[in-house]
Structure 1
Amino acid sequence: MTLQFLLTAFVVVIAPGTGVIYTLAIGLGQGRGPAIAAAFGCTLGIVPHLAAATLGLAAVLHTSAVLFQTLKFAGVAYLLWLAWQAARAGGALSVAPDRARDPAWRIAWRGTVLNLLNPKLSIFFLALLPPFLSGNPASATAEMIGLGAVFMAMTFGVFVLYGAFAAAARDLLLGNAAVMRWLGRAFAAVFVALAARLAVERPA
């Protein structure tokens, strides 16, 4: 493992994407504990993509237009559903001062599905990890798993920090219902934008 890999992975992890937005929405809507559950779920959703890259299945996804499009539009539909949940009062991602917390497992499950339905993740790992391997075929699988585990740990840590920041902001904003409603609509708009971006994605 090299410093170059750590820096590359860190830049990728901190970049705002669907997982970051989901974790921020949960942190603002429900607080620090639920945000940690969201971070855990998003991290768990990386596992199938890492496995696909390690086993070479990501290459199949890269070359199969039908499989890629099917997974992609399932992800688009899920992002639009999350947008609706953020926009409507009482939705799963609504930002309101009086909303009850969802069970941690449900929050984590949504985060897992969110990353699971992003076909670009498998192709991303297929492109990101090989350049940092030693070149020894006998240890390639173990090295891929090791690099992937580091990436996942970094993802979880950064997402927890994002969630803690959002939860702290929630504590400051609890008294302003208008701002909380505006934030819910803003998250809905971001999820719609992410769905639109995913809809036009093609295998690299």
Structure 2
Amino acid sequence: MGIINFGGFIVSAIVLNMIPGSDTIYILSKSTLGSKRQGIISVFGISSGILVHTILAAIGLSAILMTSAVAFNLMKWLGAGYLIYLGISSLIKRESVVEVKERQVVSDWQVYKQGLLTNVLNPKVALFFLSLLPQYVSGTAQHVSWSFLILGISFVCTSTLWSLCIVYSATFFTGLFNKNERMKNITNKLAGCIYIGLGLNLLRATADK
């Protein structure tokens, strides 16, 4: 399939997955302030977002972000706005994020959707894929799109496994947060500040980074 050094790609993917970012913060907040179930759902939301970027990279649409300043800035502002929105929502809430059991079905969808949008609306993820994947695809490959898809899906698998490890580790502290209302509120506010910080940092992004 024209893939070069697949083993090296997997090692790189694992290392890169371990670097904290907005996805990690989102998964941690859902796992500690919500439940293990919501943490797992958030993982699949994030993974779905990565899969979207993989498909876009494979068919070439993500390349538009590297050539169009308007497209890049639009996506950047949408992504930053959404992160800041999540942050403000966490700051003004007195209960844990998506905590009401009576709305579990709606809440599960919200957790998944938020995870999906958090990833999809981050132009840095698209640029990351366009800068990483080509390094492991031969210039003489006959099916570059398929090569991108295989590498992208492999990245999704490693990301999902690592994120699930985060969920199971984070839920260890869930009992403490649920029993201590003050601790829960402080953690919620902290997550909100981090979201806002990540959103503001995203506004600094440029297409060449």
Over residues 48-76 of structure 1, what are the superposed CA-to-partner deviations in whole Å (9 max), with x where a residue is unaligned? 21122112222211111111111110111
Counterpart contact for 1:27–1:170, Cα < 8 Å: yes
CA deviations 1:82-129 (Å, max 9, x no partner) are 1012212256737xxxx3244322211111111111111111111001
The offset of 1:2, in angstroms, is 2.6
For the residue of structure 2 that corresponds to 1:147, the secondary structure is helix
Flag structure 2 segments of 5+ consecutive residues without an equivalent: none
Q: d(CA) in 2 for partners of 1:138 and 1:16?
A: 35
TM-score using structure 1 length: 0.91
Residue matched to 2:205: 201
Question: What SS does the aligned partner of 2:62 have?
Answer: helix
Structure 1 segments unaligned to the other structure (5+ residues): none
Moved over 4 A (4+): none
Q: Measure how far apart 1:139 and its partner are.
A: 2.9
Instruction: Report the identity percentage.
Output: 26
Residues of 2 paired with 1:70 and 1:135: CA distance? Answer: 31
For the aligned residue pairs, the C-alpha RMSD in angstroms reads 1.7
| C-alpha distance in 2 between matches for 1:126 and 1:138 | 18
Report the equivalent of 2:100: 100
Which residues in structure 2 correspond to 1:61-76 (within 5 Å)?
61-76=65-80
The answer (yes or no) to whether the contact 2:96–2:185 under 8 Å persists in 1 is no
Q: Is the 8 A contact 1:86 1:184 kept in 2?
A: yes
Shift of 1:36: 0.4
Which residue is equivalent to 1:40?
A: 44
Distance in 2 (CA, whole Å) between partners of 1:65 and 1:118 is 15
Once the two structures are TM-superposed, the CA of residue 162 in structure 1 deviates from its matched residue by 1.1
CA distance in 1, matches of 2:44, 2:196: 23
| Counterpart position of 1:151 | 155
Aligned to 2:35: 31
Number of equivalences = 200
Structure 2 residue matching 1:78: 3-state secondary structure: helix
- Whether the 8 Å CA contact 1:82–1:93 is kept in 2: the answer is no
The yes-or-no answer on 1:10 pairing with 2:6 is no
Deviates more, 1:166-175 or 1:182-191: 166-175
